[in-house]
Structure 1
Amino acid sequence: MSIHKGVKVTNEQVYQLDREYVFHSWSTQGQLNPMVIAGAKGCKLWDYQGHEYLDFSSQLVNVNIGYQHPKVVEAIRAQASELVTIAPAMANRARGEAAKRIIAHAPKGFKKVFFANAGADSNENAIRMARVFTGRSKILSGYRSYHGNTGSAIVATGDPRRIPNEYATGHVHFFQPYLYRSEFHSETEEQECERALAHLRRVIELEGPEAIAGLLLETIPGTAGILMPPAGYLKGVQEICNEFGIVMILDEVMAGFGRTGEWFALDGFDVTPDLITFAKGVNAGYVPAGGVIISEKISDFFNDHYFPGGLTYSGHPLAMAAIVATIDAMEEEKVVENAAMIGQEVIAPQLADLQKKHAMIGEVRGKGVFWAVELVGDPDKQTPLDADTMVAIKAGLIDKGMLPFVAGNRIHIVPPCVVTAEEVHLGMDYIDQVLTKYAI
């Protein structure tokens, strides 16, 4: 039980309020049992009864700077006192400062930022830009992907959630590299890269290069399993796109702003796309925001060509103030450097130790604070661990005091970028204990 504005609040009250009035996403409403959260700080959350949880999920892999960062909270308060909202057609200082800071961390050759409200409509507008810029219609994207749940973004998505939502047209999918479960019968990373690029080229040839406007690809597919691209793959995709005049769009919604120990995940792969989409970590989700970072050639094109897109809350001042404060705090406090160090010196060796200990860990992969632990029922056949056991493992981690990110047969290790070594040690101990209980 807790005190909230002079009123006693319980988990049960909040739970009942939710179940009576709130309609949840991606779910059958009658089967829901949502966790109640009262507050959070840093990498910890708690409910109204004082039960505490270590966050290894960053919610939906977005709370990069941790919860309740005082500089970001204060920036939102200050902006609300100065100007709480303004239309996107107006010039606003917070919006300009946010765009300036984002461009400062983008690759050379990027010029402007179009602001959206989330990752989905960021991808939606990047697709629109590619189509207008090229005069073509088709969009290529990977089967192992998630790009959001708006009209074109969900159809660009490759995972099965697109199937009941396939209303947009002009979308074609291809297989990306994934050596552990190769679609190309590869035995090495080099083979996987070469064959995946040959497959992509063949898809483009058969779909007609003159019809393809853009290729949308997560730099590192996140929800699909944190699939690290082999050396040379993204550079090869860029070369193919340049050859056929296809706009290359890298989706950095989940992987950007420190998640991989780089400001952008693409920084680690020697690749420069034409458009970069972002959201989530840009202000840790404190106020919804996203956008498209636009290369100079595409930005200049729209100097004398009409852009047929816009959003009422594009560049909302509260979200922009949160972006400015988040980026400033990340720079001052070396949050990106912390994510890189934690990944290399703490997470990677601890996951390697867990893999040696537990036969059910088929593969670990990732960098920074962006990792996946793939669990299997049969290590030799690489059979994905069954759904019932995965549900039990997730419940076991929550019982231990962890908020996990579980997708398919994987545990994703995605704590906030400010996580400490001590917190990682604690989380890994929880995982070790639960996997021991369900050892094969």
Structure 2
Amino acid sequence: MSEISVSPNPALSTQEVVDLTRRLNYGTWRYQRDWNPLHIADAEGCYIIDGNGKRYLDLSAQLMCVNLGHKNPVVVESIAEQARRLPYIAPGHTTEVRAQLSRMLLDVMPEGLTKFFFATSGTEANEAAFKIARLSTGKSKIISRYRSYHGATMASMGATGDPRRWPAEPSVKGQGFLFAPEVNCYKCPIKHTYPQCGIACADYLEHMIENESDVAAVIVEPVVGTNGVLVPPAEYLPKLLEICRRHNVLLIADEVMSGWGRTGSWFAVDNWGVKPDILVTAKGITSAYVPLGVCATTAKVAAHFDDHLFAHGHTYEAHPITLYPAIATIQEMQRLDLVNRARSMGEYLGPKLRALKDRHPSIGEVRGLGLFWAVELVKDHVSKAPLNTRQEKMDGKPLVVDRVAADMMKRGVSVVAWISHFVIAPPLIVEKADLDFAVEVLDASLSIADEAVAG
């Protein structure tokens, strides 16, 4: 077969790329009137490069997902190789790559998770988890938490606690999602103080289970992602698991963002020795090079479907081109020892970020685990009120964090900002010099937030 070259023709200028995108595409989670997307022409390692050739340190690994950094050659080649071998086959068949990845997952997933459903995103994997939980238990309600995000499809959005749920609140009868208080020891939503509280937020969740008729599952991000990188105290997840076991309720761990070495363990639950009934993951499983999600369950959950219909599936389940890059990603993580590296680099980054708090009155708290950190901005240290509110975000009002992030971009660092904090989660291959540069830029740009506090 002769080689075929496919490329845009004629080539577009950077301005044409931006103009066409604005006119013909939707910008996600935003008002469209002021969308002015940056044209990214290339990326490599820990850096993205715009259409004018300017380089930016990718301090949040895009959407906390490019864990291997950009253009890892082994993963890139795995995509091409699988496309040459077998680009697609229906999920009712099987493939060697499907069997190999499934066996490999047994080695890295928390012990006891032994049955896998492959999706093409985290939200789709969560949809599978909700169906599996409801079908296997015969119960319908699922408890989530307010500071949470579980995806943009309808059931996953119904389980989402953050304000992105508000405009598209699922109205289908029987969605069955309830919300519990998050674990947030910096600003406890039920106004307790750790450790004297005895993990009251978990106790409250048990109170909800006891006062509802048919709770099938509790879903949590073991370390909350976009909504603030909330790291629970050591007692929280073990206590929550014990509560779920006592009431015959499944525990679903949403590790779409916190998995794949991000917290210094393969999965965040590993930090506390917790083994959930269902674990959902995506993003870092392929370093986001191709879209893949996984819903993993225990054998006990899976056994229900031996004699009951597994009422779920889709065209792209176990898509071969998504599976081989996952194998390559896991092998690269092992070769580069990235799980341990995330832990050690986090020990280097954490003190540098915490030192910023002494210099900036706008910083309320710095928290994190591994290479997963948040810097939270507040109006003052007494009330701990955020510099901006959820409602202001949903109303499209200018936010201080966005102004700071824009200034950081001018200085060569790209970071995810959300309402009143920054999510700092660079590729796990990041070097100390990159982290030094990022903290230096953040230090300089935070003067904008300090002025907002003073004003």
TM-score bracket for the superposition, by shorter chain length: over 0.9
Partner letter of residue 64 of structure 2? V
The aligned residue for residue 73 of structure 1 is: 76
Q: Which amino acid aligns with 1:199?
A: Y
Q: d(CA) in 2 for partners of 1:377 and 1:183?
A: 18
1:340 positional shift: 1.0
Q: State the partner residue of 1:89.
A: 92
Show the counterpart of 1:176.
182
Contact 1:335 1:418 in 2 (8 A): yes
Q: After alignment, is 413-422 or 376-385 more displaced?
A: 376-385
Give the letter aligned to residue 423 of structure 1: D
Tell me the secondary structure at the aligned position of residue 406 of structure 1. strand
How far apart are 1:112 and its partner, in Å?
1.6
Q: Report if aligned partners of 2:400, 2:420 keep a CA contact under 8 Å in 1.
A: no
Q: Are the aligned partners of 1:9 and 1:48 in contact in 2 as well (CA < 8 Å)?
A: no
**Whole-Å separation in 2 of the counterparts to 1:130 and 1:185:** 32
Aligned length: 433
1:187 and 1:153 mapped to 2: Cα distance? 31
Provide the residue aligned with 2:211 in structure 1.
Answer: 206
Q: Match of 1:426? A: 437
The aligned amino acid for 1:172 is L
Q: 1:353 aligns with which of 348, 355, 370?
A: 355
TM-score (norm 2): 0.92
Which aligned runs of 4 or more in structure 1 are off by greater than 3 angstroms? 4-9
For 1:398, the equivalent position in structure 2 comes to: 409
Is contact 1:184-1:192 (8 Å) kept?
Answer: no
AA matched with 1:381 = S
- Corresponding residue of 2:20: 17
In 1: Cα distance, 2:198 partner to 2:47 partner? 39
Match of 2:330 in 1: 327
Deviation readout 1:303-332 (Å, 9 max, x if unpaired) = 222110001101111110110100011101
Per the alignment, residue 372 of structure 1 pairs with 374
| Amino acid of the structure 2 residue aligned with 1:178 | N
Where does residue 103 of structure 1 map in the other structure? 106
SS at match of 1:95: helix
Partner SS, residue 40 of structure 2? coil
Q: Distance in 1 between matches of 2:399 and 2:267?
A: 36
The amino acid of 2:369's aligned partner reads K
Once the two structures are TM-superposed, the CA of residue 389 in structure 1 deviates from its matched residue by 2.3
Aligned to 2:122: 119
Paired AA for residue 278 in structure 2: L
**In structure 2, what residue type is equivalent to 1:335?**
L
Query: Deviation at 1:192?
Result: 4.4
SS at match of 1:96: helix
Match for residue 447 of structure 2?
A: 436
Pick aligned residue for 1:286 from 280, 289, 292 = 289
Q: CA deviation at 1:25?
A: 2.1
Decide whether aligned partners of structure 1 residues 73 and 213 sit closer, same or farther in structure 2, where only a CA change above 3 A counts: same
With the length of structure 1 as denominator, give the TM-score of the two structures. 0.95
Compute the displacement of 1:255 (Å). Answer: 0.2
Equivalent-residue separation in structure 1 for 2:218 and 2:202 (angstroms): 13
C-alpha separation in 1, matches of 2:250 and 2:382: 41
Distance 2:321 2:108 in 1: 21
Q: Is 1:235 paired with 2:238?
A: yes
Go from structure 1 to structure 2 and tell me whether the alpha carbon gap of 1:81 and 1:251 turns closer, same or farther (over 3 Å shift): same
Q: What residue in structure 1 maps to residue 394 of structure 2?
A: none
> 1:108-165, CA deviations, whole angstroms, 9 ceiling, x for partnerless residues?
2221211011000111110100101110111111111000011111011111111222
The 1:274–1:388 alpha-carbon spacing in structure 2 relative to 1, beyond 3 Å, is: closer
Offset from partner CA, 1:335-389 (integer Å, 9 cap, x none): 1121111101x21110121112212111011111100000112122212124532
Change (3 A) 1:154 1:388: closer
Which residue in 2 is equivalent to 1:196? 201
Q: Which residue of 1 aligns with 2:393?
A: none
Aligned residue in 2 for 1:382:
384
Shift of 1:9: 4.1
Counterpart AA for 1:75: S
Are 1:40 and 2:43 an aligned pair? yes
**Paired residue for 1:363?**
365
1:60, 1:291 → 2: CA distance? 18
